[in-house]
Amino acid sequence: KAGYAKFETFPVWNLSLLNPVNIAYEAATVDLKDVNMIDPFHSDAYGINAVNYNRDISSFPILKNILLKITGKDIYKSPTDMGVNMIKDCIIDEDVVKKAAIDEIIRRYYNTLCEYKQKNCEKEAVDIAKSLMDKLELTLADRQVARVANEVAHEKGINILAIELSNGTIVTGKETEILSCASTAFLNAIKKIADIPDDEYLLSPTILDGIYKMKKKTSYNTSYLLDLPEVLIALSICAVTNESVKKALENLEKLRGCDAHCSYIIDKGELNALKNLGINLTCEPKM
């Protein structure tokens, strides 16, 4: 016999509407305008409040009728009934989960601000994301790595990218005449993680200068700064003969899960490189 059920991750039906985990789901779907709601069908059928979302609730009568015609039975009494979700039972440290959800809500708000700045979304998406921040009384200043990046950028008057390592240490990198701030921040962070002295070059000035001059001769870009993908390629080549570089690259995995913030919207190449490294980046909504 054929049947129908779905693995529904979010929202979590037996967490409250104001639980940061469920609000994080709304923050992730501002472009879809998903709104978490109490499932009225579930309340009527069982007298139990269950959290679901607007699209699932509005489409339930249609889906229920389709299933009735296919199976000849009234299988489900609510859209919540259709989902398989045991997430709440798997939470063993509520504080850790709430912090992760709050971090995600702030990241999503930053991302929405940047999307709006680049004309990739409507103002309504920004307003929705802001309202979700307000529900939990959150501000952008609650993102520590962003606060540090912005303070250093304001103090020095240059582009800055900051990376918060797993031990809470925040490492910054500034834009130079040759390197983007993402490149310098990455180099500083990986040296810190691999316990390589600050004054030791992973890429010698001679190598960087040679790559920069070649890029300037052959590129049609308006900026000739060496970006993160280019620095990663250079490091992979140097690792063949340089033990310190080899050691640094062996520690790349330790960047996964770190948070970072840039004082401006970086280009897609560097954004993708940071994503591939597992770094959670946010940017100030500035071009």
The one-digit pLDDT tens for each residue of the chain (287 residues) are 677 788 888 999 999 999 999 999 999 999 999 999 999 999 999 999 999 999 999 999 999 999 888 888 888 999 999 988 899 999 999 999 999 999 999 999 999 999 999 999 999 999 999 999 999 999 999 999 999 999 999 999 999 999 999 999 999 999 999 999 999 999 999 999 999 999 999 999 999 999 888 888 887 777 789 999 999 999 999 999 999 999 999 999 999 999 999 999 999 999 999 999 999 999 999 98
192-207 per-residue burial string, b: 16 or more CB within 10 A, e: under 16: bbbebeeeebbbeeee
- 161 forms beta bridges with 173, 262
Number of domains in the chain: 2
CATH of the domain at 257: 3.40.140.40
Same-domain status, 151 and 104: no
Same-domain status, 80 and 109: yes
Residue 191, domain extent: 143-283
Same-domain status, 123 and 206: no
CATH of the domain at 134: 1.20.1570.10
Same-domain status, 131 and 159: no
**11: cis peptide before it, omega within 30°?**
yes
Same-domain status, 17 and 56: yes
Write the single-letter amino acid at 13.
W
- 83 forms beta bridges with 6
Instruction: Supply the pTM of this predicted model.
Output: 0.90
Domain end position, chosen among 139, 154, 189: 139
